[in-house]
Chain A
Amino acid sequence: MAITILAPAPAVQPYRAAEASDSDSDDGGADVHGDINMRPSKRARHDYADIVTPGEVVTDEDQWMRATVAGTVQKTNKLLSVRPLRARYTPEIGDLVVGRIIEVQSKKWRVDVGAPVLASLPLSAINLPGGILRKRTETDELQIRTSFSEGDLLIAEVQSLFQDGSASLHTRSLKYGKLRNGVFMSISGTGGGGGVVRARRQLWTIDTMNGGGKVDVILGVNGYIWINKHIEVAGGDTVITRMEESVSATVYSSQNDRLPNRARDSANRTKRYMIDF
């Protein structure tokens, strides 16, 4: 484990509220000036005074409220919320996530998506090999490990949330499923998640140099990233169900294809760029 300790910092001088501007000390960093001046802040205003720390009073107008995490105050009409500078991923419905199977149970898998509790992937929420119309049988339950087993990486979407905030995933699309032929990395960062924000598009295909071919980068909202060799989808013009049948034969294979060294290099290089970035 890499430990980074920076050069000894000079002793910290206590923060003096008297020196800070009165706008900071009066209302605790958030600007609360009644109903008239409320403006929806679409983006975080990057200002020193905007940071609140645990215990700091966010507002004492009408109702008294204080921050519990260190972060920036966000205001949506009358709703105040503090966005933490850094926190674990909290799942939301529709998030595209990359996860790893931790546990196999009789009818579902438990998946690590970087959230406080493991997500679950029920057997009924995956595409079984052999087309969408296939019925689930007891044989499928017995052979649950042939689809996903412990340690497998997969890409999935959050289908619903349980009462305790844990997610239920599904892979009922050809875009989702098991991941192979690539490298995994994880980033953590700002915001209420892993530094990846939910976007319209989270799968990027990058052309690489030196004949490395195309590289796919899947950005999971939970901060897990998967980089693999781009695979052209064969027969894109066939009927959806037929295509599913042809693809499904290999979709749960755990065997990595033999990749040319250049493709491997380019995936690794992309990973290094991502780390630098």
Chain B
Amino acid sequence: MPLDTSTYSLALLRLDGRRWNELRRLTAQISTQASADGSSFLSMGNTKVICTVTGPSEVKAAPGASGRGDEAVVSVEISVAGFSGVERKRRGKGDKRIYEMQTTIATAFQATLFTHLYPRSTITISLHILSLDGSLLATCLNASTLALIDAGVPMRDYICATTAGSTSSYSSNDEKADPLLDLNGSEELELPFLTVATCGTEDEVSVLVMETRVQVGRLEGMLAVGVDGCKQVRDILDVVVRARGKRILEGSQL
């Protein structure tokens, strides 16, 4: 068992040495690709994502697509590199989970971006997952936020995301066990977890995804820890954006 719950309850340290409310190392860069309108590279622990934003630009609407004429349409493309996981795996285009992530990200940004300023255009977010170790949806959301800021698309606020899991199990009857913040790949495999994204500093939840089963009493604690983690993420992203802006104002492009 990768996550030895017995040692966790003794030392309260997770497998990678973090405490329950600690984020993994989060690094981010903006404007990694000069040719794109906006781009970013973000890593949360060993999950690494490159994001490029094209647009807002006018593209030929696909036949059958319900194009709304009065506001921009956000479309998301996710590609998972074959070398991203531990085992080399080929993922087809028709992966349902990837498809659901695309829809989740597109819906979240459709609501947060000021799409009405760009009628008849499309904002394309393309995400390339280079390395995969848990909290994938959260990493994708954070990377998209940075790339969209780099592209200069007006938005209400940062969308910041983290995951939160619950260690307590019914059998051990430890109701007071702390929820865990920012799960890595091995923790995600065996703990129930949720992905939460907030918009802004006022704890406004914009994305909430949970694919596992958990007792309803633990949900509140997980959510509270997740929302708190989003705040930490927002502070970190804000520093990255400010540092980038400072460098631009000083005159150097990179």
Contacts and interface: CB of A to CB of B under 8 A. Distances in A.
Interface stretch (B76-84, B131-139, B209-217, B232-240): B232-240
Nearest to A82: B154
Nearest to A45: B249
A9 B56 contact: no
A86 B40 CA distance: 14
B246 A48 contact: yes
Contact of B200 (A5, A9, A13, A55): A55
Contacts of A9: 27, 29
Interface stretch (B102-110, B115-123, B179-187): B115-123
B156 interface: yes
Contact of B239 (A15, A85, A116, A164): A15
A3 B235 contact: no
A69 interface: yes
Interface in A27-71: 44, 46-48, 50-51, 53-55, 66, 68-71
A239 interface: no
Main secondary structure of the interface of B (DSSP, over half): mixed
A224 to B, nearest CB: 14
Nearest to A4: B32
B27 A11 contact: yes
A151 B241 CA distance: 37
Main secondary structure of the interface of A (DSSP, over half): loop
A87 interface: yes
25 contacts: A3-B32, A5-B29, A5-B41, A6-B32, A9-B27, A9-B29, A14-B239, A15-B242, A51-B241, A53-B158, A54-B156, A54-B158, A55-B157, A68-B156, A69-B155, A70-B241, A72-B245, A86-B38, A86-B151, A88-B56, A116-B121, A117-B118, A117-B119, A188-B34, A189-B253
B154 A68 contact: yes
B155 A54 contact: yes
B124 interface: no
A217 interface: no
B232 A14 contact: yes
Nearest to A16: B235
The 4 closest A-B pairs by CB, nearest first: A87-B152, A55-B157, A14-B235, A68-B154
Given A70-B241, A72-B249, A116-B55, 12 more contacts: A2-B35, A15-B238, A44-B249, A48-B246, A53-B158, A54-B157, A68-B114, A86-B150, A86-B152, A88-B151, A116-B58, A116-B121
B57 interface: yes
A220 B33 CA distance: 22
B149 interface: yes
B248 interface: yes
A271 to B, nearest CB: 15
Contacts of A87: 151-153
B19 interface: no
Contacts of A55: 156-158, 200-201
B50 interface: yes
Nearest to B120: A117
A8 B43 CA distance: 10
Interface in A236-251: none
A181 interface: no
B239 A68 contact: no
A224 B243 CA distance: 28
A189 B76 CA distance: 24
B57 A116 contact: yes
A153 to B, nearest CB: 18
